[in-house]
């Protein structure tokens, strides 16, 4: 029908087009103006004699897909992409069928799934492209192009999408609208080069010292300083040789920018920072300039830092003198430039005032960098790392590691740590560090909010590679465990790991866990021992789901009862059966059969124990039939229910008019008869027998089922006549129950007698027509209102947010569970990818252990944060029961830092709590602001990353027991 309508519309468009062409000819002959003509009621503009007849949705979809694929094949720096509002683009996707084809799979409701696509509705064609919801009101840009700027803090996918230039041109040709928001593709990264679209170019605030005027400059982070000079000179009408531009971060002169090919990102210029323009004499020395009052001043050069805070010595003494400075660690390398105290807004020579404590410096927010500041504060307050970076670590810098940054990241972090412990309470702007981090991990190069855990992972990995003591990594072939003792395999794996990875990060932060995989088909067991740098702990509510299943007694011994059980989200039907059996006290000689009920029919039997539970949606209704194992015969009998008074010819033809939940039982006879069927039906119905003669007043709630007065009378005279005809057919048999035999299509109804015999081993289906007699004998309310697997609203009222413990999160992390369908394991025996059963165990703990509480859940259309309070110990965290390897190491830990996340996704804020161990006091680090906090106040529902250090007993310290760490806290 839909295609007929589409064909009709296309033919109508053709008639409009032909009519228009005829009119064009007439106008042309009469000399009239035919440049623009609108055909009444057509809805499409005709311009310059060309029809604007749109393509079909399928054509638009194909063209856009082809253009996207072509763009992916020709990625290069400088390619243009265009920003489009997600709101408009999703409308277009629905129109061309992308949602129906790709996005609804796996997320559709049961109703949509069972309709088999019969209800597919064409979405309306979207109007003009509308980007008004993602752009700033007007433009504060003072540049030549007067570019329209995006609103800040937008998220790709959620607020906007990026399309290649060819796609934008097609969409604009079809829909017009706008405004146009072009953005260039840039290449980022140090060794791992990555293409990114620069959605937010660098915004710089230009202050002209000649008249104190202010302007806004928009440039790519990859633009050179030369390009910045060109733009500034053109904008302010000044000759280049007379222009002096300063890095004016925090309204303070940091460095004079020199015309060069150095990028603005390499010059450490930040989003929204100030730059200062001064006019100087063209022949003036490049080493000196004049301020706005005409006074000469020394320019800050971009030479190596010559402060006492060098890796050769550590913090300066109070008199400001130090010795042993190495002015050029690696001649000719990038280590010899870019690391200056002034870059971070900190004057090392006048840093420490008498009586001030170290470790209390805040970190300035450089534009949504609170996530970075939070993680950094936790690390710069990690005792073993403080000890390491305050000493001379230059000999361990690995400049040859292709996975590192020639030591630049380690130097930048070390410089930042030393300043943090030497600056008293002076806030530091970590611009140099942010630039180095962005080169190592380009995903952090922009100005959007990120995840502090992701940054921590990349930072630890980058520091490890820059400080790896292994210069040439040997090739090592991994061996299977092959039944060898765990101690032997674990030691071998750790030795192999240390042969390739040996750094302070490995010494301090890395432990080892045991991973066991079991193939669900061939039972192949694979055991590996892998290093870990942190533990990502799921909150119990994120890995389990509550499922409500109604249990019916197949032998008719009891009334049905709903049970709510907790199972793993990625579990199987066998897990549901196990939990359900425990809940309903299933006996050893009993068995359960699961089935999905839809439309008052058995939609499917869930007979495979390895059926994934993710195939069962929350809005489905699942029942279980309970049987004695010895009573489960060869022939399965399914009993459906109809209201006999409601029959019409349509009901008889398509098999509707059913109500309630079908009942299932077994026929034990080798060749069952009609009499056996009637006996089985009577037995299954026996629990529903009324204890009083009339049911007319039976309205209420029993056993979790809602009754709604099922004895109402309805139906037309035609329906009654059909029903009477049915009664005559039924009464002609010798059955006392009004039963009819039906096929699996519900289109053929057939009467049978008690002496009718049936073939064994098949599924027999009968329908019970409920007459007044059956309604008086049995209470049908127990067959109705079967609860859904999960009712969100009901669960929200029933379940309150309760605190969970860190130990319960650990239990969930170490729980045996099947791999997800997107994380299949290749079984070497089956030679197939299998959804294996995975079990993790902690084997060896590190000196510093970081727990990541997985508060964020991500899906294509659903992103959520869990604010549940996790109760974690501050002192005496004993992990001994979780560690398999009893090597005599202390398993008791003490908390010393926390990374907190407040708010929701995208618009949240990160802070940190850190303990100064020497003074045994906690502090709150909120970007630049630092304040003391009581120990009792650091436990909140915002806790995201927990940092613990090992507590060593005096006996172990005195005896000098060996550890895989070089540092003792």
Q: How far apart are CA 948 and CA 806, in angstroms?
A: 13
Last residue of a domain, one of 783, 813, 843: 783
DSSP string covering 663-726 = EEEEE-SSS-BHHHHHHHHHHHHGGGB-SSS--TT--SEETTEE---TT-----HHHHHHHHHH
Q: How far apart are CA 454 and CA 379, in angstroms?
A: 14
Q: Note whether residue 553 is domain-resident.
A: yes
pLDDT of residue 643: 78
Q: What angle do CA 890, 892, 898 make, to 5 degrees?
A: 130
Least confident among 334-343, 547-556, 621-630:
334-343
For residue 330, pLDDT beyond 60: no
Least confident among 551-560, 641-650, 957-966:
957-966
CATH number at residue 73: 3.30.2230.10
* Other Cβ atoms within 10 Å of 674 Cβ, number: 21
pLDDT of residue 690: 80
**669 lies in the same domain as 549:** yes
**556 lies in the same domain as 678:** yes
For residue 334, pLDDT beyond 60: no
Contact 359, 381 (CB under 8 A): yes
Q: How far apart are CA 687 and CA 778, in angstroms?
A: 8
For 614-647, write each residue's pLDDT tens digit. 888 888 899 999 988 887 777 888 888 887 754 4
pLDDT of residue 740: 82
**260 lies in the same domain as 160:** no
Q: Note whether residue 258 is domain-resident.
A: yes
For 173-212, write each residue's pLDDT tens digit. 999 998 999 999 888 766 667 788 888 888 899 999 899 8
**666 lies in the same domain as 585:** yes
pLDDT of residue 293: 35
pLDDT of residue 511: 95
For 413-434, write each residue's pLDDT tens digit. 999 999 999 877 788 999 889 8
Closest by Cα among 427, 303, 419 to 364 = 427
Q: Note whether residue 940 is domain-resident.
A: no
**606 lies in the same domain as 626:** yes
The number of domains in the chain is 3
Q: What is the pTM of this model?
A: 0.62
Residue carrying the six token digits 């890095």: 247
For 776-824, write each residue's pLDDT tens digit. 888 888 888 788 888 754 433 333 344 689 999 999 899 888 887 778 8
**87 lies in the same domain as 210:** no
For residue 297, pLDDT beyond 50: no
Side-chain-side CA neighbours of residue 471 (13 Å): 6
**248 lies in the same domain as 176:** no
Last residue of a domain, one of 246, 279, 312: 279
**667 lies in the same domain as 763:** yes
- Averaged pLDDT, 903-926: 87
pLDDT of residue 660: 85
Contact 237, 167 (CB under 8 A): no
Q: How far apart are CA 75 and CA 66, in angstroms?
A: 15
Looking at the chain, the whole-number percentage of residues with pLDDT higher than 70 is 72
Residues 6+ apart with CB under 8 A from 320: 308, 349, 350
Sheet (strand 511-518) strand order: 525-532, 511-518, 837-844, 817-818
Catalytic residue, from 203, 244, 254, 370: name it.
370
For residue 321, pLDDT beyond 90: no
pLDDT of residue 503: 95
- Band (731; pLDDT cuts 50, 70, 90): very low
For 828-839, write each residue's pLDDT tens digit. 889 989 888 889
Residue 258 gets which letter from DSSP?
Answer: P
- State the DSSP H helix or E strand holding residue 232, giving kind and residue range, or none if neither: helix 225-236
Phi-psi region of 165 (alpha: psi -120 to 50; beta: other; left: phi over 0): alpha
Contact 255, 342 (CB under 8 A): yes
Both tokens of residue 255?
């460095």
For residue 24, pLDDT beyond 60: no
pLDDT of residue 792: 55
pLDDT of residue 871: 93
- Averaged pLDDT, 760-765: 81
User: Angle at which helices 370-380 and 452-466 pack, to 10 degrees?
Assistant: 50
For residue 335, pLDDT beyond 80: no
Q: Note whether residue 253 is domain-resident.
A: yes
Whole-number Cα distances in Å, 619 to 107, 275, 705, 789: 11, 59, 17, 6
For 123-151, write each residue's pLDDT tens digit. 688 889 999 889 986 444 443 444 678 88
CATH number at residue 635: 3.10.20.90
Q: Note whether residue 562 is domain-resident.
A: yes
Q: Which residue has the higher pLDDT, 162 or 345?
A: 162
Last residue of a domain, one of 258, 279, 300: 279
Q: How far apart are CA 357 and CA 425, in angstroms?
A: 8
pLDDT of residue 868: 86
**631 lies in the same domain as 673:** yes
Query: Is 55 in the active site?
Result: no
**175 lies in the same domain as 249:** no
> What are phi and psi for residue 297, nearest 5 degrees?
-145, 155
Residues 6+ apart with CB under 8 A from 477: none
DSSP string covering 334-354 = GGGSS--TGGGT--GGG-PPT
pLDDT of residue 642: 84
Determine how β-strand 525-532 pairs with β-strand 535-538.
unpaired
Q: Note whether residue 150 is domain-resident.
A: yes
**629 lies in the same domain as 763:** yes
- Averaged pLDDT, 322-337: 36
For the chain, the average pLDDT equals 75
Q: Determine the structural domain holding residue 266 and report its residue range.
A: 202-279
Closest by Cα among 583, 585, 591 to 567 = 583
pLDDT of residue 375: 95
For residue 85, pLDDT beyond 80: yes
Q: Note whether residue 405 is domain-resident.
A: no
For 367-396, write each residue's pLDDT tens digit. 888 999 999 999 999 999 999 999 999 999
In 272-397, where does DSSP find H-type helix? 370-380, 383-389
- Averaged pLDDT, 907-928: 91
- Band (954; pLDDT cuts 50, 70, 90): low
pLDDT of residue 637: 87
- Band (449; pLDDT cuts 50, 70, 90): confident
Q: Note whether residue 850 is domain-resident.
A: no
- Band (263; pLDDT cuts 50, 70, 90): confident
For residue 483, pLDDT beyond 60: yes
- The span from the first CA to the last CA of the chain, in angstroms, equals 76
pLDDT of residue 337: 34
pLDDT of residue 316: 33
Q: How far apart are CA 777 and CA 944, in angstroms?
A: 60
**84 lies in the same domain as 232:** no
Query: Is 929 in the active site?
Result: no
């Amino acid at each position: 029908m839909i295609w007929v309508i589409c064909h009709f519309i296309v033919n109508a468009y053709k008639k409009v087009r032909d009519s228009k062409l005829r009119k064009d000819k007439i106008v042309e002959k009469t000399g009239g103006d035919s440049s623009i003509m609108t055909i009444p009621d057509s809805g499409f503009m005709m311009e310059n004699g060309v029809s604007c007849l749109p393509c079909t949705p399928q054509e638009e979809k194909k063209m856009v897909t082809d253009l996207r694929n072509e763009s992916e094949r020709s990625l290069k720096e400088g390619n243009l992409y265009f920003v489009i509002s997600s709101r408009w683009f999703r409308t277009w996707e629905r129109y061309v069928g992308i949602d129906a084809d790709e996005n609804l799979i796996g997320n559709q409701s049961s109703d949509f799934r069972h309709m088999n696509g019969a209800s597919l509705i064409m979405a309306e064609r979207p109007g003009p492209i509308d980007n008004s919801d993602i752009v700033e009101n007007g433009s504060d840009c003072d540049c030549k192009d007067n570019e329209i700027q995006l609103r800040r803090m937008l998220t790709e996918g959620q607020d906007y999408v990026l399309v290649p230039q060819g796609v934008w041109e097609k969409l604009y040709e079809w829909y017009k609208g706008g405004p146009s928001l072009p953005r260039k593709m840039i290449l980022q990264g140090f060794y791992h080069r990555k293409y990114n679209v620069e959605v937010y170019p660098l915004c710089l605030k230009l202050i002209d010292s000649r008249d104190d005027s202010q302007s806004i400059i928009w440039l790519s982070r990859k633009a050179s300083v030369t390009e910045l000079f060109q733009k500034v000179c053109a904008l302010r009408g000044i000759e280049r040789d007379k222009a002096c531009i300063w890095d004016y971060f925090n309204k303070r002169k940091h460095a004079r920018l020199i015309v060069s090919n150095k990028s603005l990102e390499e010059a450490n210029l930040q989003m929204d920072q100030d730059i200062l323009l001064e006019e100087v004499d063209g022949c003036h020395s490049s080493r000196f300039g004049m301020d706005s009052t005409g006074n000469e001043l020394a320019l800050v050069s971009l030479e190596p830092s010559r402060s006492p805070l060098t890796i050769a010595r550590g913090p300066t003494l109070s008199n400001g003198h130090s010795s042993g400075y190495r002015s050029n660690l690696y001649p000719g390398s990038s280590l010899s430039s870019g690391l200056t105290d002034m870059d971070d807004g900190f004057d090392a020579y006048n840093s420490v005032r008498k009586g001030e404590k170290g470790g209390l410096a805040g970190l300035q927010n450089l534009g949504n960098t609170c996530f970075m500041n939070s993680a950094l504060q936790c690390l710069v307050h990690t005792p073993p790392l403080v000890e390491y970076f305050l000493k001379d670590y230059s000999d361990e810098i690995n400049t040859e590691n292709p996975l590192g940054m020639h030591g630049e990241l380690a130097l930048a972090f070390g410089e930042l740590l030393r300043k943090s412990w030497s600056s008293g309470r002076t806030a530091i702007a970590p611009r140099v560090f942010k630039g180095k981090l962005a080169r190592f991990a380009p995903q952090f190069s922009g100005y959007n909010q990120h995840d502090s855990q992701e940054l921590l992972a990349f930072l630890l990995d980058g520091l490890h590679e820059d400080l790896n003591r292994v210069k040439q990594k040997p090739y090592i072939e991994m061996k299977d465990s092959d039944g060898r003792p765990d101690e032997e395999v674990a030691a071998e794996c750790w030795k192999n790991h240390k042969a390739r990875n040996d750094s302070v990060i490995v010494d301090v932060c890395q432990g080892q866990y045991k991973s066991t995989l079991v193939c669900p088909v061939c039972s192949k067991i694979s055991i590996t021992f892998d290093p870990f740098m942190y533990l990502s702990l799921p909150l119990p509510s994120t890995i389990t789901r509550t499922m409500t299943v109604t249990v019916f007694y197949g032998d008719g011994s009891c009334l049905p009862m709903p049970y709510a059980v907790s199972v793993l989200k990625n579990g199987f039907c066998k897990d549901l059966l196990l939990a359900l059996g425990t809940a309903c006290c299933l006996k050893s000689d009993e068995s359960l059969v699961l089935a999905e009920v839809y439309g008052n029919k058995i939609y499917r039997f869930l007979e495979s124990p390895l059926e994934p539970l993710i195939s069962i949606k929350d809005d489905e209704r699942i029942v279980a039939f309970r049987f004695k194992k010895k009573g489960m015969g060869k022939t399965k009998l399914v009993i459906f229910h109809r209201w006999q008074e409601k029959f019409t010819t349509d009901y008889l033809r398509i098999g509707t008019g059913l109500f309630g939940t079908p009942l299932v039982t077994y026929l034990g006879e080798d060749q069952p008869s009609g009499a056996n069927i009637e006996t089985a039906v009577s037995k299954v119905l026996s629990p529903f027998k009324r204890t009083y003669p009339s049911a007319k007043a039976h309205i209420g709630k029993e056993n979790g089922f809602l009754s709604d007065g099922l004895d109402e009378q309805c139906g037309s005279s035609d329906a009654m006549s059909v029903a009477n005809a049915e009664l005559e057919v039924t009464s002609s048999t010798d059955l006392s129950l009004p039963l009819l035999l039906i096929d699996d299509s519900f289109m053929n109804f057939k009467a049978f007698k008690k002496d009718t015999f049936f073939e064994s081993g098949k599924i027999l289906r009968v329908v019970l027509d409920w007459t007044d007699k059956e309604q008086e004998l049995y209470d049908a309310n127990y067959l109705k209102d079967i609860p859904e697997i999960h009712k969100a609203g009901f669960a929200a009222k029933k379940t309150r947010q309760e605190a969970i413990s860190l130990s319960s999160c650990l239990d969930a992390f170490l729980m045996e569970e099947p791999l997800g369908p997107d994380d299949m394991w290749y079984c070497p025996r089956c030679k197939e990818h299998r959804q294996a059963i995975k079990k993790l165990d902690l084997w060896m703990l590190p000196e510093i252990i970081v727990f990541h509480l997985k508060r964020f859940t991500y899906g294509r259309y659903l992103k959520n944060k869990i604010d549940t309070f996790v109760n974690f110990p501050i002192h005496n965290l004993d992990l001994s029961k979780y560690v398999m390897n009893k090597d005599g190491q202390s398993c008791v830990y003490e908390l010393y830092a926390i990374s907190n996340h407040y708010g929701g996704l995208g618009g949240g804020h990160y802070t940190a709590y850190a303990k100064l161990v020497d003074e045994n006091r906690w502090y709150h680090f909120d970007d630049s602001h630092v304040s003391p906090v009581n120990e009792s106040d650091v436990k909140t529902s915002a806790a995201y990353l927990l940092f613990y250090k090992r507590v060593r007993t005096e006996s172990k310290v005195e005896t000098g027991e060996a550890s895989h760490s070089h540092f003792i806290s």
